[in-house]
Every structure is written in C-alpha cells, then in structure tokens.
Amino acid sequence: MKIRIAHSPDSDDAFMFYPMVKGLIDTEGLEVEHILADIQTLNEEALKGTYEVSAISFHAYPYVADKYLVLPSGGSVGDGYGPIVVSKKELQSLKGLKIAVPGKLTTAFLVLKLYEPDFEEVVLPFDKVMDAVQEGLVDAGLVIHEGQLSYQDRGLFKVVDLGAWWKERTGLPLPLGCNVVRKDLGLENIRKVERVMRRSVEYALKHKDIALSYAREYARDIKEDPDRTQRFVSMYVNERTIDYGEDGRRSVRLLLNMGKETGIIKAPIPEVIFSDEL
C-alpha cells in the first residue's frame, strides 16, 4: 500500500522522519512517499484531506477531525519553551500592535491570541516573519522553527516565549504540532502507521549522530552551527515525540477547549483525538 506522508522542511521533522525516508526501518509493507511543505500549506491541505499522513498544527486539528486522527507519536511539544514574539526594540505590551504571523491555523497563532487577543495580524510565510520585523513593516513577529534560536543574530528582542507563558499559566507542556492519519485508511492500516511512526522516532533518537547529520541540511539559519541544530532538534524530538504522555494529552485537550471557549476555534472539539484511543 502506498501512502503519502507530508511534513515541514525543518530540522526536527527531518530528524524524526530520516529513518523512514532512508528505508532504515520496517515499514510493514507500506510504500512511503514524502511530501515537503510549510506548516500553513499542510494545514490547508489537511482541510481537503489531501494526504494519508500529514504533520499539522494542533490549532488546525478540530477543523480536520472529521477526516483525521492524531498519531500518538511524532508530535512537537515544548516543555517550558515554544514560539516566541520578537521585535526590533523592547516592548512592554503587544496590545493593538501589528504582528507578523506564520499562518492563522498555526498553534503559535492560537496561543498568541490566548496571550493577547487584541492585535492586528499580518500573515506571512514563516521564513519571512523576521525579515518583516527587521524592515519595520510590522511592530513584532511570531517566530516558529529554528528562528527561536537565531533571532538574536539579527539583533531582535524577545518579547515573550509563549511556551514559557503556557507552562507558567497551566503547569503543562505546550503541544504545537502533530502527525495525523486519515480515518479512511481503516483501523488495520492506522495501527500499522502508528507502529511505523513510532519506530522512526525511536530509531532517530537511538542513532542521533547520523539523524542529526541529515537534519542539519534543513536547519536554515542555524545549519552551520551543529550545537544549535542539535539543541533545536532536542527541544522538539525527545521522549514526548515517542508518546505525548498523560500531561501532554491533557494539555492538547485544554488548549483546544480554551481556543473554543474564547471563540478563536470555530469548530467543535472531538471526543476522540488520538488514534490509539479507538
């Protein structure tokens, strides 16, 4: 059976998918085709049910829950850290400001709206957000991916780390991205995908050096700095990527319910979220 697996062209996703891409693990007969696209594009494609397996933002999940379930492995969770808001000068507040964001379905955008509901968003590709801040086109920018470690290289200031804010407010890690599997594959194939995804993450964590060597090619601003690449990958590929854990799963539901209660999320929150809950 051939399945398409779509994910972001960033170092943490590259790291966890490396064993699958290179055929280093047993895929149980699944023929895997990899598709690379930025997270906002993946969120939009998931609305159409395009790919059998895809990385998406947790913010997008309620809108695609009729078509997909969340795999228990492959998630990106920030425990006390996460997307950051940066600016060209120090800011005391974001209220009423113009802020560049990497897509309105990203989890980063959802958490920013929970943190400060009153701002004007300017949607840009994630890799253009810091450029817009530097050029003075916006007052601040919401930074995801490797930019969380490289913003200071551009002389920018951190206004808030949304993962740290979430931890302080809830005591929980911040679930950002997940891998989803299409329901119409059927339970047998869904279980197979669960095992293959977990196997890929576990292999990468067990063979970090070669997986990191591959992942560095996708590390953009920090690719020439092996230490920072390793630090970034370790932030988002770890034991929680093998399984979210009880507190991680609790945080997923809390985040989505808060988004719903505040009117940011317009879709219903499903009873069953994770595929292994079936």
Residues acting as catalytic residues: 145
State both tokens at 247.
């507190």
- Nearest-5° Cα angle at 53, 51 to 54: 80
φ/ψ (deg, to 5) at 62:
-55, -30
What is the enclosing helix (H) or strand (E) of 231? Answer: helix 226-236
**Residue type at 210 in one-letter notation:** I
The first and second tokens of residue 81, run together, are 């850290």
Q: Does 241 count as an annotated binding residue?
A: no
Helix (H, G, I), strand (E, B) or coil at 20: helix
- What is the C-alpha separation between 52 and 44, in angstroms, rounded? 14
Structural contact between residues 217 and 14, judged by C-beta atoms closer than 8 angstroms? yes
Question: If we measure between CA atoms, which residue out of 1, 158, 174, 169 comes closest to residue 77?
Answer: 174
Q: What are phi and psi of 140, to 5 degrees?
A: -155, 170
Handedness of CA 181, 187, 189, 193 (dihedral sign): positive
CA distances from 267 to 60, 64, 125, 138, 248 (A): 9, 9, 24, 30, 21
Give the span between the Cα atoms of 61 and 107, in whole angstroms: 10
What is the rounded distance in angstroms from the CA atom of residue 99 to the CA atom of residue 109?
10
Residue 65 is assigned to a ligand binding site: no
Q: How far apart are CA 139 and CA 97, in angstroms?
A: 6
Annotated binding site: 107-108
